A and B are shown apart, each in its own frame.
Chain A
Amino acid sequence: MKPGFLSQNPSVLWFLAALGLFTLGVTVLAEATGTGALSTSFVKTLGKTLCLCLIAIAMDVVWGYCGILSLGHFAFFGIGGYAIGMWLMYARTEAIVSESMAAAVIPPTDQEVIDAIGTQIFGVVGSSEFPVIWAFSDSLFLQLLMVVLIPGLLALVFGWLAFRSRVTGVYLSILTQAMTLALSLYLFQNDSGLRGNNGLSGLQNIPGFEDTPQSMISIAFFWASALALGLGYLLFAFVTSGKMGSVIRGIRDDEARVRFLGYHVESYKLFVFTLTAVIAGIAGALYYPQAGIINPAEIAPIASIYLAVWVAIGGRGRLYGAVIGAAFVSLLSSWFTGGGAPNVNLGVYTIQWTDWWLVLLGLSFVAVTLFAPKGIGGLFDAIAVRRTPERVGDYGPDKGALRQEEGTE
């Protein structure tokens, strides 16, 4: 009998159980629903971290499983954030404007209301007209559709162009990085229609929930993020298991050989690239209402590279590795840069971690790449019973193919 999905992927149950416990713990300790041991801002940080974990597993699937080092997934994350941010900003401004206009003797026409919203939103970039891309911003449903559609379409078109002409390896990485750079430079312009480098702000105020305290909103978003992460984990575990998962991993290890076996490599890659982009967009749509502000700097190429760093430190090629990497590095990063880490006095020089954290991160990243290609997730191999494939020599003949020492899955 064929083994079931869960017995093939024992990590899924473990992960879901851990996530459930974690969510329960945070709920019990949060301000709105429990003892209040965790501050609202920390609940938000945890919620944001869960969103980062979600995009990290997407990155892990596209890179760790399919071998496409995309340096553009944070662009999809940002697009998701912008898409939901447009509705949040529009709806909230509409509420404020309608309230202030209700005092007038003659009720305003629809056009006057829209003009006033436009002036409110685009005043900072010296404009008052609604750009075309805001056409659907008054509808939550359509904007939610945008969260999925825009990253998906962009990834589809970009991926189709890139995979069709067989751009692979580092070239593809540089190309995706260029795409991210182009997008962020475009958004930095004032006439891009998305408020230039001001970005969208005030996203933490959810229209219709003005009277709900932020502590409640934060825990609601935390639940939503946890749910999304759980579902995302299930989805990706499903995608990367079974026959399809084998093909995807085959593409990573030797693309040409998979092609000769008769699989349409481009379609598989395009599917993985687009699906992960969509999930990245959803993660972004959950992240930015908790962050409260989004601006083009969030999309800069460096963010996508950090994403790769998280996945690499956590351990590529295993979903829980990506989650661990994203959570560990991003929380550690905010602990160090937030001044939480104690300074180290060396006598002649005091190491202030706010200054030296990036140096430490960079160097430890080099160390992980060199000495522990399996990342933190590799530690689990020590406790888990793993079937070690009986293979001889390197798995693929080409440069870039997975080496024996890193491919034990």
Chain B
Amino acid sequence: MFRTILIILAVCLAAPSIASAQDLQSILQSHQKLVAKPSAKTVGTVLDDLAASGLSGTADFLERWRNKELWVRTEDGLFFYTTADGSDLTLLDIDTGETVGTAIKKDLKQIRPNGGVRKAIASALVQFQLSDPDIARRTAAVDAIARAMTADQLAPLQAAIDNEPDAALKARKTRLAGMLAASFADTTEARVAAIQALSDDISVDVRAVLNQILTTKRATAAALPEGANIAAQLTVGQDISETEAYAMLVDADLAPARVSASDILSALTANASDGRVADTPVGTLNTLEARAKVYDTLAAAGTVPTRITDAEAQRLIETHVYFDAYIEKDPAITQAARLALDGIETRVAVSQAADLTLDALSLASIYFLAAIGLAVTFGVMGVINMAHGEFIMMGAYTGYVVQLFIPNYTASIIVALPLAFAVTFAAGVAMERLVIRWLYHRPLETLLATFGISIALQQLAKNIFGTQARPLTSPAWLDGAWVINDVIAISYIRIAIFVLALIFLALIVWILRKTRLGLEVRAVTQNPGMAASMGINPDRINMLTFGLGSGIAGIAGVAIGLYAKVTSEMGADYIVQSFMTVVVGGVGNVWGTLAGATMIGFLQKGIEWFNPSNTLAAQTYMILFIILFIQFRPKGIVALKGRAAGD
């Protein structure tokens, strides 16, 4: 039938003018009986003729016919579409769609094609849609096939590949036809060839097709059945437990059901009277053994079914075999599919490793951004700033406020970055002047005082912006993700954060190593007294350094806010991790912070990979690991040596 459609379609595409001389009604009238009372066997003739006609209304007609919207007038056998008009029907011409009159319901008969017919119509319809001149309809048809693949779609799809003018859609059709062929082609050779062709595609739907072919069914029998396509034989106690094995036997009617502890209990309850079961007082029945004994007494009297003994159950389990059999009968096909799937899975694993690496890099860059400001204030200056997280939060809220005034997201981010730096720089300088400089020799007090500032700032943010999360929307060009294949994908926003982290690394290293300020910072850090006698003002340097570290925290806040939500507690989420990053990396060294962030990022993603559903556990284990790590390298990964160490 499909071949006929194919030829006819080719003909009518070549010479549409010849066929269009007819109209639908006349074609249908020539097969009046077959249309009015369609059957799966005979409907092919009608469909072939309809296809041959090349009439533009054919697809529409087929759809309506399938959906039981076609009516036949009893007196003259003409076909109409109808719309309900009260109790009457308005008749519409099937060619023009115009109203031709009204009729009462009993003068017409609704045509209700059965399932087989509807299926035939549907596949003819697919053919029409796949070759529709409108690309949107063709795409929709391809989408529909991809959603639910069935055997009868294969031929029309293959037929529709060559005439496809759009290259992208043609590629999709070819790929889809390949998947259909792997599942539904007629010959073993064709299917094996199609499966092999799929083996270099790691996408999810191809894996689904192959897994579908490799579906197995677990079964049990006295011996392995002849001719079955066995995937694996199962060993009791290793692949399946004895309980499962026995349950399979019961399901297959190969063994009687066992009497469970709860069965015994309900049997005893049912047979209890006057506080006794089978002459045993119920008070003594509070162990499983006692209950079993009484149950056996009842069974011996014939009141309840006999229990199967453990030995008998064991014998039954041992005298049967358990296996997974492929639903697909042909071993050549399952073998090819297994081979293809194994190859694909190896590649998927490689891709997953690459994806995990990207994820870890991205997490590391977020930790790095959060910690780099701390690397300056804590690492270089030795000041514990528990309010560092709140500076991150201030930066993020600055971004949010800027977006309230500047609706253009790109422009607002460009404004927000320096503004966040300015705001947190000012806050940092103010904090240094007002609080920290009085506490330079009392680090524990610094910790507590900055913590006081931290809770005050957090509550202040809550009072101003409310407790709900505020959005910080990224520009449209940062939406979406860089998709390499079905497994490897990374969102642009994460790439941007990564790039930002790199820029800051370079910037900080440059400032500390190559500028006058950096030189003075290092001098003041090592020996304030000596630096002062060389004409450096330590107060000013401390103030500027602290401001710099805080300012960077502000910019990190904008970046983190873009990818996570802005809340008053966002800083607190990062503060412990940030300190960990600095301590693990090695205090006093920006490269150490980089190493620390990389290690923590990779470690966390690595642990998450072992237990993907549980990020809480990953964090727990990571912190434990860090505590142990500090035991063995108390000075961090990159330990300062010599005079710079400052001890």
Contact = CB atoms under 8 A, between A and B. Distances in A.
Contacts of A69: 444, 447-448
A358 B624 contact: no
Given A107-B286, A185-B616, A189-B614, A167 B634 contact: yes
A309 to B, nearest CB: 7
B616 A188 contact: yes
Contacts of A104: 269
Contacts of B617: 186, 189
Given A165-B630, A173-B444, A369-B449, A356 B269 contact: no
Interface string B623-647: 1101110111010000000000000
A211 interface: no
B632 to A, nearest CB: 8
A362 B453 contact: yes
A279 B90 CA distance: 90
A83 to B, nearest CB: 20
A357 to B, nearest CB: 8
Contacts of B580: 174, 178
A301 B576 contact: yes
Contacts of A382: none
B445 interface: yes
A369 B627 contact: no
B448 A308 contact: yes
B645 to A, nearest CB: 14
A355 B463 CA distance: 6
A309 B448 contact: yes
A362 B576 contact: no
A302 B572 CA distance: 9
B305 interface: no
A181 B626 CA distance: 12
Given A106-B272, A161-B627, A369 B439 contact: yes
Interface string B265-281: 10011001000010000
Nearest to B266: A106
Contacts of A403: 441-442
B434 to A, nearest CB: 9
Interface in A171-195: 171, 173-175, 177-179, 181-182, 185-186, 188-189
B615 to A, nearest CB: 9
A181 B623 contact: yes
Contact of B288 (A109, A171, A305, A399): A109
Interface-centre pick from B286, B288, B451, B631 (highest chain A CB count, 10 A):
B451
Contacts of A346: none
Contact of A174 (B462, B463, B583): B583
Contact of B456 (A173, A186, A362, A369): A362
Given A107-B285, A182-B620, A362-B455, A170 B441 contact: no
Q: How large is the interface on B (under 10, 10 to 19, 20 to 34, 35 or more residues)?
A: 35 or more
A126 to B, nearest CB: 13
A169 interface: yes
A244 B616 CA distance: 42
A255 to B, nearest CB: 13
Interface in B289-320: 291
A358 B456 contact: yes
A170 B444 contact: yes
B616 A106 contact: no
Contacts of A357: 459
Interface in A377-392: none
Interface string B426-459: 0000000001001101111101110111111111
A366 B446 CA distance: 9
A263 to B, nearest CB: 21
A21 interface: no
Contacts of B441: 399-400, 403
Interface in B552-595: 572, 576, 579-580, 583
Contact of B616 (A162, A173, A174, A189): A189
Interface residues of A, number: 55
Contacts of B265: 106
A357 B265 CA distance: 61
A312 interface: yes
Contacts of B452: 309, 361-366, 369
A107 to B, nearest CB: 4
A106 B276 CA distance: 9
A173 B579 CA distance: 11
Contacts of B572: 302
Contact of A182 (B272, B451, B623): B623
A321 to B, nearest CB: 15
Nearest to B288: A109
A110 interface: yes
Nearest to A364: B452
B384 interface: yes
B287 interface: yes
A186 B620 contact: yes
Given A110-B286, A370-B439, A170 B384 contact: yes
A179 B447 contact: no
A167 B630 contact: yes
B447 A173 contact: yes
Nearest to A361: B455
Given A106-B268, A370-B439, A169 B444 contact: yes
Contacts of B620: 182, 185-186, 189
B229 interface: no
Contacts of A370: 435, 438-439, 449
A140 B452 CA distance: 40
Given A312-B448, A369-B452, A400 B634 contact: no
Nearest to A188: B616
A155 to B, nearest CB: 14
Contact of B443 (A105, A169, A305): A169
Contacts of B453: 362-363, 366
A356 B285 contact: no
Nearest to A171: B583
A146 B452 CA distance: 34
B285 A106 contact: yes
Contacts of A188: 616
Interface in A104-141: 104-111
A373 interface: yes
A348 interface: no
B620 to A, nearest CB: 4
Nearest to A357: B459
Contacts of B445: 369, 373
B86 interface: no
B449 A399 contact: no
B461 to A, nearest CB: 10
A178 B282 contact: no
A182 B619 CA distance: 7
A235 interface: no
Nearest to B267: A106
Contact of B282 (A107, A165, A171, A177): A107
A165 B631 contact: yes
Contacts of A399: 441-443
Interface in A153-170: 158, 161-162, 164-167, 169-170
A394 to B, nearest CB: 9
Contact of B576 (A106, A167, A181): A181
A108 B451 CA distance: 56
Interface string A12-49: 00000000000000000000000000000000000000
B283 interface: yes
Contacts of B627: 158, 161, 175, 178-179, 182
Nearest to B438: A370
Given A109-B291, A359-B456, A373-B445, 5 more contacts: A104-B269, A106-B268, A178-B623, A359-B459, A366-B456
Interface of B: 265, 268-269, 272, 277, 282-283, 285-288, 291, 384, 435, 438-439, 441-445, 447-449, 451-460, 462-463, 572, 576, 579-580, 583, 614, 616-617, 619-620, 623-624, 626-628, 630-632, 634
The 7 A-B residue pairs with the shortest CB-CB distance, nearest first, are: A362-B456, A365-B452, A358-B459, A182-B623, A362-B455, A369-B449, A366-B452
